[in-house]
Amino acid sequence: MTPTFDERTDALVHAARSQPGVVGLVLLGSAAEAHRRDEWSDHDFFVVARPGAADEVRDVRAWLPDVDDVAALAREGEIGFSVLYRDGHVLEFAAATAAELDGAALVHHRVVFDDGSVAALVAASQDRAARAVALDPANETALFLVKVLLGVGRARRGEVLSGGQLVRQWATQHLVRAVRERLPSPTDPERIDPARRFEAAYPEIGARLGAALARPVEEAARDLHQLCREVLEPGWDDFPSAGADAVAHRLGWDG
């Protein structure tokens, strides 16, 4: 029988507590907050190692729950791991000392157990968040316009893969950031990844973004350019209108 999300959490907590090298466990995102959870939610977390025990804790096959049911295990950088179980459930986590996690962003989180290291980590993260400088929406919009132009140019010369990446990934990322900063959502002020739950926070804009991104590269770029102007330009003196005009003229969209 497939375990429930809470049963998986209990197994994870038990597995982490049983390791002498582990001094803390922090659940993140939907693993920490049930109201953010649905059938597609995975387990995101930090497992915190005592100093000198990082290598031991990063031998994750020695302590992962239900390790015989693991279908694939991958490293992400020095401290990150992604684990796929045979039933499709995923764990994404960092296994590291508190010092190695210095600089980590903790927004939606729940400390399950802690020897004191995690409390300092959380305090430092909250202090950084309080001092963080907000993104400049005009700058993000200008970057969006540049990525759109470069992406369409590459697609026109035959580099459809690279051009599509510029439009669908980089340009879209800058546009989403600009929307988040210029039109803050009272329901979901996402700070770590502005694209997460964007559709719930901005249903109409999100629907138009999704429809645009499903089109071929240049059509997607043109739709995004139009969306940007319609959503952000009216009533905003700092909107880079000259830049938007320049992109449209260079690509022949103003004829």
The region of weakest confidence among 35-39, 75-79, 171-175 is: 35-39
* Residues 226-248: b if buried by 16+ CB within 10 A, e if exposed: ebbbebbeeeeeebbeebbeebb
pLDDT higher than threshold 80 for residue 129: no
DSSP 8-state code for residue 1: -
| Domain hosting residue 13, numbered range | 5-131
Q: Are 85 and 69 in contact (CB under 8 A)?
A: yes
Q: What's the pLDDT at 150?
A: 97
Query: Residue 132: which pLDDT band, with cuts at 50, 70 and 90?
Result: low
Nearest to 51 by CA among 17, 28, 21: 21
Summarised one tens digit per residue, pLDDT across range 133-143 is: 678 999 999 99
Q: Which residues pair with 95 in a beta bridge?
A: 47
Q: What is the pLDDT of residue 189?
A: 59
Confidence label for 191 from pLDDT (cuts 50, 70 and 90): low
Domain co-membership, 117 together with 97: yes
Q: Across the chain, what does the average pLDDT equal?
A: 92
Query: Taking the model in full, what pTM does it have?
Result: 0.80
The secondary element (H helix, E strand) that includes residue 207 is: helix 203-213
Residues 105-124: tens digit of each pLDDT: 777 889 999 988 888 888 87
d(CA 48, CA 50): 7
The two tokens of residue 94 are: 């960092």
The domain boundary, picked from 89, 111, 131, lies at 131
Among 31, 35, 34, residue whose Cα is nearest residue 44: 31
- Asked whether the beta carbons of 86 and 71 are under 8 A apart, the reply is yes
**110 and 81 together in one domain:** yes
Domain termination residue (choose one: 131, 164, 194): 131
Structural domain count of the chain: 2
